[in-house]
Chain A
Amino acid sequence: MERLVQILVDAVSVGSLYALTALGIGLIFGVMRLINFAQGELITFAAYTLLALFGLPVPVMIFGAMVVAVALAVFTERAAFRPLRNADPTTLLISSFAVSFFLQKLLILAVGSRLKGLDFLPALGHEVELGGIRLQLLQIVTIVVGVVVLIALTWFLKATRLGLHMRAAAEDFRMARVLGVRANSVIAMAFALSGILAATVSCLIVVQTGVVQPRMGLQLVIIAFVGTVIGGLGSLSGAALGGFLVGAGSILLQASLPPELRAFREAFVFIAVALVLLFRPQGLIPARGLRERF
């Protein structure tokens, strides 16, 4: 019984992490039809910011990571993606790989490719007892952070003027502009939000693994991207659900597969993805009105 609850909590916490990552990808895709693999480097840069600020008070470290991720997100949009705004999605995709590789190599050049230990918030590694079941504090914190960020993002999108503009632009960008919605503000805001999501994920993953390395973000983003595809590209609830399912699913597989098959759990995840795409090619929660951007 205890083991089962522990596995479920682990699955939900890893699912939350991937849901947040997938949301970052989904937000940008929604308004720009861009699959931004450079989201991974936002996570990596935020992690290295934590490393650089190590020793300062924790809130300062977290704030620093947020600022760096948001600034980098907005800067990549200005420098790399804005000039290509009317290009076709393939061009955008390739340029996002270019940005991703560029930032990754830049980091390797600056700090080397070696893995570095970072003992961030070690207190979260302790176990707590909830109703007679021992759970890792970090997993509970991850779930709580995931839920809070999800609620805050939903509130922003539903209750604010800019949130309304973003939803309108995601559905029909040209019509939104005809009504006066500013393309630049909407896109910059989407990138800024993806930066906040990336920094959040970064803090949690650093606590979990205790290390930083230049490729850490890209690995996360590729799996999370699979999640957004399962959920339905262009739909935010789909991205959150898809990311969650991929993350939670891989933990459940890890726990339920016989030991000799565990090394192949990713293969099982991708089989599940192939099945979803076979039977629901639009994803679990298809996006409405995937029109061309203008």
Chain B
Amino acid sequence: MSFGAPLLEVSGLVVRYGAIAAVRGVDLSVAEGEIASIVGPNGAGKTSLLSAAAGIVTPAQGKIAFAGKPLSGLVLEDVVARGIALVPEGRHIFASLTVMENLLLGATVRRDGAVPDDIDRYFSMFPILAERRRQPAGQLSGGEQQQLAIARALLSRPRFLMLDEPSLGLAPTIVDQVYAVLRAISGQGVTILLVEQNAERVFGVANRVYVMSGGEFVLSGAATEIRGDPRFDAAYFGVGMHAAGWATSGR
């Protein structure tokens, strides 16, 4: 498969929390139209990388450009207006607000009149949200909240959607649904960057996979290659990867 020009370009990214470097010099390029995925164990720096791309944390070093323009210097609330949406780890729905209010907040940056139509579209995609539109979102189950978080992110009409562990804590059948939705969204032309601990899930949907460990990419390539790569397990679990020199291979 071939994809368009790079939409998100990250180079030499370092993210620090005090003395701790969570991301230690990462280069990443996500092409328009593809589904890229970052997998890796807990604490690998995946969430920090997404947070930097979403404008939540300021990088200590490195550059992030979106559609050819740098993201640095933007305040957090301006990032979404550029076409970047985030479904954060833990979903972060507004529990005391209704389902409908959560969706309306997703369209905060839009000034066009098509928001109600879009909401109707997501209601037919996620019928449970339509049924519960007047209920506080905190009353939804985990899977329903994940659907709400995805619909809310899409209501900004993003070009680029980032999802942080969308399958976390969900039953396998619900995860199937979530992934089916991601494929559908991708089919509509939205570029996706997906972060998961659950690597098996990712192979079924992603075009390109990056394995992250200790704040660095230790392995990357087309999903089909990485899946069969004997180095994958070692890279994922961080077994002797530096000794074997894998940190720079496979790119």
* Interface majority SS (helix, strand, loop, mixed), chain A: helix
User: A288 an interface residue at 8 Å Cβ cutoff?
Assistant: yes
Q: Which residue of B lies closest to A185 (CB)?
A: B77
Q: Say whether A178 contacts B96, CB under 8 Å.
A: no
User: A257 an interface residue at 8 Å Cβ cutoff?
Assistant: no
Q: Say whether B95 contacts A179, CB under 8 Å.
A: no
User: B24 an interface residue at 8 Å Cβ cutoff?
Assistant: no
The listed residue (A174, A179, A182, A294) touching B105 by CB distance below 8 A is: A179
User: B94 an interface residue at 8 Å Cβ cutoff?
Assistant: yes
**Residues in A whose Cβ lies below 8 Å from that of B88:** 175, 178
Using C-beta atoms within 8 Å of the partner chain, give the interface range for chain A.
10 to 19
**Residues in B whose Cβ lies below 8 Å from that of A179:** 80, 105-106, 108-109, 152, 156
Q: Say whether A171 contacts B109, CB under 8 Å.
A: no
Q: A171-B97, A181-B77 are in contact. Are A165 and B56 (CB under 8 A)?
A: no
**Residues in A whose Cβ lies below 8 Å from that of B106:** 179
Q: Say whether B156 contacts A175, CB under 8 Å.
A: no
The listed residue (A171, A180, A183, A289) touching B108 by CB distance below 8 A is: A180
Q: A172-B92, A172-B94, A288-B96 are in contact. Are A177 and B77 (CB under 8 A)?
A: yes
User: B138 an interface residue at 8 Å Cβ cutoff?
Assistant: yes
Alpha-carbon separation in the docked complex, A180 to B106 (Å)? 8
B96-127 toward A: CB 8 Å interface, digit per residue (1/0)? 11000100111011000000000000000000
Alpha-carbon separation in the docked complex, A164 to B103 (Å)? 11
Q: Say whether A288 contacts B105, CB under 8 Å.
A: no
Q: Say whether B96 contacts A164, CB under 8 Å.
A: no
User: A153 an interface residue at 8 Å Cβ cutoff?
Assistant: no
Q: Say whether B94 contacts A165, CB under 8 Å.
A: no
13 new A-B contacts at CB < 8 Å, known A168-B94, A288-B138, A294-B76: A167-B94, A167-B97, A175-B88, A175-B94, A176-B105, A177-B77, A178-B56, A178-B80, A178-B88, A179-B80, A179-B108, A181-B77, A288-B96
Q: A172-B92, A174-B56, A175-B88 are in contact. Are A181 and B97 (CB under 8 A)?
A: no
Alpha-carbon separation in the docked complex, A56 to B80 (Å)? 50
Alpha-carbon separation in the docked complex, A182 to B78 (Å)? 9
User: B30 an interface residue at 8 Å Cβ cutoff?
Assistant: no
Using C-beta atoms within 8 Å of the partner chain, give the interface range for chain B.
20 to 34
Number of cross-chain contacts by CB at 8 Å: 68
Q: A164-B104, A180-B109 are in contact. Are A171 and B96 (CB under 8 A)?
A: yes
Alpha-carbon separation in the docked complex, A172 to B94 (Å)? 7
Q: Say whether A168 contacts B156, CB under 8 Å.
A: no
- CB interface residues, B 50-99, toward A, < 8 Å: 54-56, 75-81, 86, 88, 92, 94-97
The listed residue (A171, A174, A180) touching B95 by CB distance below 8 A is: A171
**Residues in B whose Cβ lies below 8 Å from that of A171:** 94-97
Alpha-carbon separation in the docked complex, A1 to B56 (Å)? 62
Alpha-carbon separation in the docked complex, A111 to B131 (Å)? 61
Q: Say whether A181 contacts B96, CB under 8 Å.
A: no
Alpha-carbon separation in the docked complex, A132 to B55 (Å)? 66
Alpha-carbon separation in the docked complex, A294 to B152 (Å)? 20
Q: Say whether A165 contacts B77, CB under 8 Å.
A: no
Give the 3 A-B CB pairs with smallest separation, nearest first.
A180-B109, A180-B108, A175-B92
Q: A174-B56, A178-B80, A179-B156 are in contact. Are A168 and B95 (CB under 8 A)?
A: no
**Can you spell out 17 A-B residue pairs with CB atoms less than 8 angstroms apart?**
A164-B104, A165-B105, A168-B94, A168-B97, A171-B95, A171-B96, A172-B92, A174-B76, A178-B79, A178-B86, A180-B109, A180-B156, A181-B77, A181-B108, A182-B77, A183-B75, A294-B56
Alpha-carbon separation in the docked complex, A177 to B86 (Å)? 11
Q: Which of B101, B105, B106, B152 has the most CB of A within 10 A?
A: B105
Q: Say whether B96 contacts A289, CB under 8 Å.
A: yes
Q: Say whether A178 contacts B54, CB under 8 Å.
A: yes
Query: Closest CB of chain B to A255's CB: distance in Å?
Result: 37
Query: Closest CB of chain A to B94's CB: distance in Å?
Result: 5
